[in-house]
Amino acid sequence: GEFAEALAWYELDMELLKRRGAWTDLAATLHNLGHVAIETGNLERATAYFAESRDLYAAFDLDEYVQEETEMIEYAQSLRANKSLTQR
């Protein structure tokens, strides 16, 4: 439903931003994709989106955003760990 539609729009936006070289905007889109991935239960993908976003922010020395992405990576990883514990 709504998350699938959001994912499609964010992925289109991501491609357009890559073509334009709008790297900090791309980092923001990757961050948003990370949240969509969390909401849809794709925690591994969420971690990857947040990591890519963090790396882009780091390239521009945007430390506050780097910290936020690091926290989101840790959050997604904790959700993955909790999910694996409950599936045992």
Residue 1 has pLDDT above 90, yes or no: no
* Per-residue confidence (pLDDT) for residue 35, from 0 to 100: 95
Averaged confidence pLDDT in the chain: 93
Model pLDDT for residues 9-41, shown as the tens digit of each residue = 999 999 999 999 999 999 999 999 999 999 999
Domain spans in the chain, listed from the N-terminal domain onward:
2-86
Domain 2-86: CATH architecture, name and number where available: Alpha Horseshoe (1.25)
* Per-residue confidence (pLDDT) for residue 7, from 0 to 100: 86
Residue with tokens 């990757």: 30
* Per-residue confidence (pLDDT) for residue 31, from 0 to 100: 97
Other CB atoms closer than 10 Å to residue 12's CB: what's the count? 11
CA distance 81 to 77: 6
* Per-residue confidence (pLDDT) for residue 4, from 0 to 100: 85
Residues 6+ apart with CB under 8 A from 37: 43, 45, 46, 49, 76
Residue 55 has pLDDT above 80, yes or no: yes
| pTM, two decimal places | 0.89
